[in-house]
A and B are shown apart, each in its own frame.
Chain A
C-alpha cells in the first residue's frame, strides 16, 4: 500500500506539469489525422465480434460468421452516415 502511495504520489508530481499544460492550452483548432484507423473502430469491431460469438455459440459456425459480417457491414454504413469515420472506412 505504501509503495502504491509512493508511486502515485511521485506520478502526481511528475505528471502535474504536463496536466497543467494540457488544460491551460489556448491554441485554436487542432490537426486531425484522418488517414489511419480510428481507435473506436477497432474497439467496436472487437466488442461486436465477441458479442456475436457469445450469442451464436449454440448455432453452426457459419451462422455466427454471417451475422458478424452483417453487424460489421451495418456498423460501417453507420459510421459513413454519422460522419467521423467517413474518410477512414469509406
Chain B
C-alpha cells in the first residue's frame, strides 16, 4: 500500500483500474434506451453498415465502430466497453493527474477523481453505448496537454474529439477565444493539424452520401447542397426552448447538477470566483457551454451534454479544496464517495434496463414482423433506430419514412431508392403505403403516429404491440 501511495503514476493506474471496474459492472451491454441512449441503434447500424448516421455524423466514432465490428465478439459489448467504459475510466485518471500537477497533493487529486467517479451524468454516459464518453476523454486529454504546455498534442486531442462529437469544436473555439491573444496566435499556427484530424474526417459522411449506400436509412441519399442542408437541419434543436418551458428545464438542470456533484460544487464555485487567468477562463467556458446548451435546447435529453462539463468541474473542485483546510478535503471527498456508492443502486444502467427493457421489446417487435413488411416511421427517434439495428442484423423489412414530399430532396431521393429496389412507388406517404400493400406486403405504422392513419388511408388493426402497430390499406 505504501509503495502504491508513494508514486502518483501508480495511483493514477489504480484509479483507472477501479473506475474501469466500476463502470463495467454498472454498464448495459445490449440494445437499450436507458440514459437517453436511444441513438445506440443508429450507432450500431452505422458501425455495421456504411450508412449515413444522424447529423452531423461523428465520423471517428463510426470508423472505430467499423474497426471493432471486424473483431470477433458481440459488437454492443465491444463498443460499450472500449468506446465508453474505458474512455470514461481514462478520463477519471486524467482528472487525477491534472489536479496532482497543480496541487502536488495525492489526497486532493484522489478526492477530485472520486468526485468525477461519483458524478451521475458522467457515469450515465460511461456505462452505455454512446459517443459522449470518448469525446469527453479527448477533450480532457486536450486540457491535460495544455496544462503541460504541449500545444501540438492539445490540438491533436481536440481535433480527435471534434471528429467524434462536434461539440468539442465549439469548446475548442471557446478556448481559443479565452486563452489570451499571444497563446491563441501560437495555437492558430497549428490549425492544419486540427483540420486534418478534426474537420477532414467529416468528408467521410459526404462520401457515404455520394456513394448512395443501400439502404439509405436516416437521410442524405444522393449528395447535393440541398440534401446536405436538409441533413444538417434535422439537428436544429439548439437554443429553441420557449419561455414557458424554461422554468422546468432550469429545475431539471439544478437537480442534475446538484445530484451529480454534491458538495464539490462549493469549492469549485469558490475557486472560479476568486481566481483569474486563462485556466479559469478555459474551465468556465467548458462548463458554461454545455450548461447553456441544455438549458436552451428543445430536446429534454440534451442533459447528456453536461457530461462535457463533468471532468472540468471535478478539476475545478480539486483546485478549490487545495485552498482550503484538510478538513474540507475529507468532507467533500466523503460525500463524493457516498455518491459513488449511491449510484450503484440508483444509476445502475444494467439493472435499470432489466427493470424496463423497452428497447429490447421494441427490437423484438420488429424482429417478429413478417419478412418483407413495410414499416412507416419517423426518420429519427429511438424506435426507428431499433428498426435500423434490426435491418443491420439481417431483418428483411422496408422502412418508409414520413417525409415532406413536396420540398425535400432527401425524400425524393429516398422514393427513387424504394422504386429501384422494391418497385414501390408514390409521391407521398399514402401512395407509397398503398403501393407496398398492392405488392402484398404487411404494413406497420409507428404507434406514436397512429393519428396519421386516416390521412394515410389505412385502418389500424387490433394489436398488443407497443411501438409498431399493424395496419391495412382501406
Contacts and interface: CB of A to CB of B under 8 A. Distances in A.
Q: Is B one of A's binding partners? A: yes
Contacts of B225: none
B50 interface: no
Interface string A70-87: 000000000000111100
Given A5-B266, A8-B265, A30-B298, A23 B239 contact: no
Interface residues of B, number: 52
A32 B297 CA distance: 11
Contact of B263 (A8, A40, A82): A8
B236 A15 contact: no
A89 B35 CA distance: 33
Chain B contact surface mostly: helix
B259 A20 contact: yes
B418 to A, nearest CB: 25
Interface string A34-78: 111111101110000000000000000000000000000000000
Interface stretch (B248-256, B282-290, B387-395): B248-256
A19 B237 contact: no
Contact of A83 (B38, B233, B243, B347): B233
Interface in B199-258: 233, 236-246, 251-252, 254-256, 258
B278 interface: no
Interface of A: 1, 4-5, 8-9, 11-12, 15-16, 18-20, 22-26, 28-30, 32-40, 42-44, 82-85, 88
11 contacts: A5-B263, A8-B262, A12-B258, A23-B121, A23-B347, A24-B352, A28-B381, A28-B383, A34-B242, A83-B233, A83-B236
Interface of B: 33-36, 38, 120-121, 124, 233, 236-246, 251-252, 254-256, 258-260, 262-263, 265-266, 295-296, 298-300, 303, 328, 331, 335, 339, 342, 346-347, 352, 356, 358, 381-383, 448
